Structure 1
């Protein structure tokens, strides 16, 4: 049985009508994208709020310390961030009560020597693990990393006996000379950076007749400046605030560093019955200022060096 198909003229051709309930394609997905943007804004606000709270928590002790340094003795612990009685006398008195200039000089000498020696020695060891291929290299590097697991108390007495037998107890030498033998953490950090450098540069230098030392000193070190800057800044901060070794090896106040001097001031002015806490907090502010300046000067190198070392 045949079925009649209605004839449609060419001019009558048209698209079938779309149901009224259908949604235009352009509007599909618009609501999910808007909700995603709202969620991103909420997350951003929460992250900023959390960082602000953490920033206040971390900066409050230092703000309190600075505020207390401008207060007289009777108002040091009143917990006011704005001093009721403002005075600059503490900053003049602290230089008279303690040889801060000498302690700063001792600390600067130890810091510079320790930072430079550990940076160069660690770079040489890291370069050796990166460039040279020898049997047992991985095992030896594993032992180097395993040394970081040893608590400092384990090697404290043997190290003291070594320096005592050499006659250096009571001097500044033990505070920096052990950095001549590199640091496991800095060796790991610098090795990770060296592994990311193109080996073709060094192979080409060797083909051109450069010695192993020339390749390291003239090519590898300049290319590793970000990682070297991180190592240098980290060690400067570690040595500047090191109290343990100063307590062990220093005997006379003429050799005290800043941390050891602050400990002596706490014993003299804080717990001896004088209760001159305004002198102690003022000396603490003065001792902290150099590290703040170092951070602001080197923060770009720190971020660049840590990021590049971690990625590579």
Structure 2
């Protein structure tokens, strides 16, 4: 029990802001600004949620966010396993350089390439569209490629060689043998990508210029600036923003834990 106390304390530090946000969403303005402050609301109300839907085009922002997130997840589960498989299970001269390039891009902070990448998208006329938010996922994410690669190391080469001897093409071997085995790692990558894209603030802020294209993250930021910190409705909107990410994690938790553990042990 004593060994668990540091873990429990650290978990409480991370969970406490979410708990405060959740209870604040159900508080009246009087409870929010009461002195001394209280965690639980004295009078529970759903007015904050109603006002959030009135003041914020939640459904529009939700649809935009879902579109970007789903496309990014699709791009991730298409590109990352392919690159990971090519780097570890196909014998070719570029396998080792490919792995080195992936590792080097992981070490490069995204802030370093922020301006050059923006200039590229601006030159292509893609600023103001969803292309800069979606297309990179179809080109592969270095961390997720490396994670899936580490998982694929455990796949017996004999299975792949047997399929090749039986006349299966490389793509058929990949699709029918490797992908089913790597499902925990792929689901883990999908969960990572979903959470990253769903909660992404910087990229939508940089590339989206039309309010009708806003995602939830910058939509809530705009609401924050326009309504002089209306904490109740803002917390209610943040709860709605957080719930999908929590649901996705809980649904994919079994695969998520298995994929991370397996990748860490390789």
Q: TM-score, normalization: structure 2?
A: 0.95
Map 1:23-172 → 2, pairs under 5 A: 45-78=1-34, 79-135=37-93, 137-172=95-130
Among 222, 225, 238, the residue aligned to 1:284 = 238
Instruction: Give the superposition deviation at 1:301.
Output: 0.9
Contact 2:88–2:95 (CA under 8 A) maintained in structure 1: no
The answer for the alignment partner of 1:21 in structure 2 is: none
Question: Matches of 1:139 and 1:173 in 2, distance apart?
Answer: 28
Between 1:68-77 and 1:254-263, the stretch displaced more is 68-77
Which stretch shifts more, 149-158 or 102-111? 149-158
Provide the C-alpha distance between the structure 1 equivalents of 2:231 and 2:172, rounded to a whole number of angstroms: 55
Residues 1:299 and 2:257 are matched in the alignment: no
Q: Is there any run of 5+ residues in structure 2 with no aligned partner, and where?
A: none
1:192-215: CA deviations, max 9, x gaps? 111110111111111111111111
Runs (4+) off by over 3 Å = none
Task: Identify the residue that residue 35 of structure 1 maps to in structure 2.
Answer: none
Match of 1:37 in 2: none
Shift of 1:146: 0.8
Distance 1:295 1:110 in 2: 18
Q: TM-score, normalised by structure 1?
A: 0.81
Picking from 226, 233, 236, the partner of 2:194 is: 236
**Deviation for aligned residue 1:93:** 1.0
SS at match of 1:168: coil
Please list, as runs of the form range in 1=range in 2, the aligned pairs for 1:182-261 lying within 5 A after superposition. 182-261=140-219
Higher relative contact order (CA 8 A, sep 6+): 2
Tell me the alpha carbon deviations over residues 228-282 of structure 1, each in whole angstroms, 9 at most, x when there is no partner.
Answer: 0100000000000000000001111110001111111111123xxxx42211111
What's 2:227 paired with?
A: 269
2:256 is the alignment partner of 1:310: no
Give the conservation status (yes or no) of the 8 Å contact 1:269–1:280.
Answer: no
Cα 1:144–1:101 shift into 2, 3 Å: same
Radius of gyration: which is bigger?
1
- Distance, in Å, in 2 between the alignment partners of 1:77 and 1:198 is 61
Check whether the contact 1:64–1:81 (CA below 8 A) recurs between aligned residues.
yes
Q: How many residues align?
A: 264
Which ranges in structure 1 are unaligned for 5 or more consecutive residues? 1-44
Task: State the alpha-carbon separation in 2 of the partners of residues 98 and 190 from structure 1.
Answer: 39
Distance in 2, matches of 1:140 and 1:291, equals: 32
